[in-house]
Chain A
């Protein structure tokens, strides 16, 4: 890893340099929150955002994605070329880059790499930026408040300047051409440590810090808590839609109006969708909110850990905001905290 320092005023020049060969997607203000959008003016970027309503997942795994076209009369696959837009995902927080790293594990690094995902990932540069936590952030609990890989550049705000971690040649060259990166001094490194400590101290203290969450998930698998939590689920799938790591999908075929040709599409799905676990013959092995919500929390806080040695939740807090029934990992942590206190009594 290479470290350099640039002045904060140099950032717009870097964005413009990216724009010459990439679509630049960055956080912009929208209503009472923020969203990731393609921008054409660096001035539109709201770099001091706390959290965007939805993540950048859609740029790697679109919600509605054509996989191939077919001729319905001959049952043959037709030529289909997907357009992949070279893109810079600019201004991602550590949690979101950690989330992309989890998607990489699923779609790129497994036994059967997904060609659609890989093509997009390949054509994407990731530029991260340091942040201060909002009220719903709990990334530090899973260690995803810092990110070691998965980005091209990462900007740490050190007061009017950025300490830049550089991890790709492509991005390094663009940085070099657009800005005047200089060696980091001891002073810069000290300021970096201060900034890190300020961030660590700023997390919402009301979100309980629980050890061994994965183990506790197994221990309380049958607790009535899940009836209560799942019983209030609206079955809306908003949680998975905004979550940067939820990756489940469905595949459907759609005919053109002429009935002669069609397209096979991949669309986002979610385990909180009532029919998600309905199998051939019509049996649904997760028939109520209790099973569905419990499953979602299990995959987040236990199941993915078993296969990939890390949580599938990065603590970004989006579902805390999006779920109108107040169902989210923080509620699970509060439950464990309560159980712990009861044990002490």
Chain B
């Protein structure tokens, strides 16, 4: 193939332009994308990847169709970034617990301002940016698609990206985890009096941790139909202290729990 031919082929190419941006995160989810290994090139072949934070120190380009966002929003600068991504992209995909629920950074949300004041005594280093309590991306902008869990599953990412590119009849699960756990015929942790957050966590992973012999930590986030009261009753019946259940939920769901508590307080007023 000669050079002119390649150039004209490129011109004819109308692949969707994709950017991958990172906020407060450990980069684990961006790394998970590369873990699709053998299929990575197949996926890259379907898009025009304009920017990938993991492998680039350039600023974001000006035009793109799909914005993939990893990480929680923890600064004013990040708020501006997500608003810009939303304004320019036709579709926004939030990936990983940090972006979807606030995740691990979200654990710092409660009493954030006081803690910042206590730690830095009014002199916050400029490298920190203008800090604010960590929140999920969806607290600031509309998110069209989510890839859940900490970290994301490589193939789940590909599936969701393809949904954004081509459409899909897949509905995001709102049921909680135990049914998926039963499909895999795992023995329930509560039979041994062991805490497991599958009771209230979205069935987004096929009960992956339980399949591997570990209780669910809730990284897929609370189901919109999570029945916390009934879950506490389940704990009590199984001899698990419901306070431990509440505490364990803080790891990945603190932002949602604070928001729910705020809403309840407002309603009471």
Which residues of A come within 8 Å of B, CB atoms? 30-33, 35, 53-54, 63, 72, 231-242, 250-255, 257-259, 268, 270, 272-275, 278, 289, 322, 324-326
Q: Are B230's CB and A234's CB within 8 A?
A: yes
Q: Which residue of B179, B200, B224, B225 is within 8 Å of A238 (Cβ)?
A: B179
Q: Are A235's CB and B234's CB within 8 A?
A: no
B188 interface residue per 8 A CB criterion:
yes
Interface flags for B211-227 (1: CB within 8 Å of A; 0: not) read 00000000000011111
B54 interface residue per 8 A CB criterion:
no
Q: Are A259's CB and B165's CB within 8 A?
A: yes
Q: Are A252's CB and B187's CB within 8 A?
A: no
In this complex, what residue of B is CB-closest to A259? B46
Which chain A residues lie closer than 8 Å to B168 at the CB level? 252-253
The minimal Cβ–Cβ distance linking B239 to chain A, given in whole angstroms, is 13
Q: Are A324's CB and B162's CB within 8 A?
A: no
The minimal Cβ–Cβ distance linking B242 to chain A, given in whole angstroms, is 13
Q: Which residue of B185, B187, B223, B234 is within 8 Å of A324 (Cβ)?
A: B234
Q: A232-B233, A252-B169 are in contact. Are A237 and B175 (CB under 8 A)?
A: yes
Which chain B residues lie closer than 8 Å to A234 at the CB level? 176, 178, 199-200, 227, 230-231, 234
In this complex, what residue of A is CB-closest to B238? A324
Q: Are A274's CB and B233's CB within 8 A?
A: no
Q: Are A31's CB and B234's CB within 8 A?
A: no
How far is A234 from B233 in the complex, measured between Cα atoms in Å?
Answer: 11
B67 interface residue per 8 A CB criterion:
no
Q: A254-B170, A257-B155, A275-B171 are in contact. Are A54 and B165 (CB under 8 A)?
A: no
In this complex, what residue of B is CB-closest to A255? B162
Q: Are B233's CB and A63's CB within 8 A?
A: no
How far is A238 from B185 in the complex, measured between Cα atoms in Å?
Answer: 10
How far is A275 from B176 in the complex, measured between Cα atoms in Å?
Answer: 11
Interface size class of B (residues with CB under 8 A): 35 or more
26 interchain pairs (CB within 8 A)?
Answer: A32-B191, A33-B187, A231-B230, A232-B229, A233-B227, A234-B234, A235-B225, A236-B198, A238-B178, A238-B181, A252-B168, A255-B159, A255-B162, A257-B43, A257-B155, A259-B42, A259-B166, A268-B183, A272-B175, A274-B175, A274-B223, A275-B175, A278-B171, A289-B225, A322-B188, A324-B188
Q: A257-B43, A274-B225, A325-B234 are in contact. Are A236 and B36 (CB under 8 A)?
A: no
Q: Which 3 A-B pairs have the closest CB atoms?
A: A237-B179, A236-B178, A257-B39
Q: Are B170's CB and A255's CB within 8 A?
A: no
Q: A30-B187, A234-B200, A325-B234 are in contact. Are A274 and B178 (CB under 8 A)?
A: no
Q: Are B182's CB and A257's CB within 8 A?
A: no
B158 interface residue per 8 A CB criterion:
yes
Q: Which residue of B158, B166, B238 is within 8 Å of A72 (Cβ)?
A: B166
Q: Are B175's CB and A236's CB within 8 A?
A: yes
The minimal Cβ–Cβ distance linking B236 to chain A, given in whole angstroms, is 11
The minimal Cβ–Cβ distance linking A238 to chain B, given in whole angstroms, is 4
Q: Which of A33, A241, A289 has the most CB of B within 10 A?
A: A241
Which chain A residues lie closer than 8 Å to B155 at the CB level? 257
Q: Are B175's CB and A235's CB within 8 A?
A: yes
Q: Are B190's CB and A324's CB within 8 A?
A: yes
Q: Are A232's CB and B227's CB within 8 A?
A: yes
Q: A255-B162, A257-B39 are in contact. Are A274 and B230 (CB under 8 A)?
A: no
Interface residues of B in 149-180 (CB under 8 A from A): 155, 158-159, 162, 165-166, 168-171, 173-180
Which chain B residues lie closer than 8 Å to A257 at the CB level? 36, 39, 42-43, 155, 158
Q: Which of B181, B185, B200 has the most CB of A within 10 A?
A: B185
Interface flags for B46-62 (1: CB within 8 Å of A; 0: not) read 10000000000000000
Q: Are B175's CB and A258's CB within 8 A?
A: no
The minimal Cβ–Cβ distance linking A254 to chain B, given in whole angstroms, is 7
How far is A259 from B46 in the complex, measured between Cα atoms in Å?
Answer: 8
How far is A268 from B203 in the complex, measured between Cα atoms in Å?
Answer: 13
In this complex, what residue of A is CB-closest to B170? A252
Q: A252-B169, A255-B159, A257-B158 are in contact. Are A54 and B185 (CB under 8 A)?
A: yes
The minimal Cβ–Cβ distance linking B201 to chain A, given in whole angstroms, is 10
In this complex, what residue of B is CB-closest to A258? B42
Which chain B residues lie closer than 8 Å to A322 at the CB level? 178, 182, 188
The minimal Cβ–Cβ distance linking A244 to chain B, given in whole angstroms, is 13
Q: Are B187's CB and A238's CB within 8 A?
A: no
Q: Which residue of A31, A238, A255, A289 is within 8 Å of B182 (Cβ)?
A: A238
The minimal Cβ–Cβ distance linking B141 to chain A, given in whole angstroms, is 21
Which chain B residues lie closer than 8 Å to A233 at the CB level? 227, 230
Q: Are A324's CB and B178's CB within 8 A?
A: yes
Q: Which of B166, B175, B180 has the most CB of A within 10 A?
A: B175
Q: Are B230's CB and A232's CB within 8 A?
A: yes
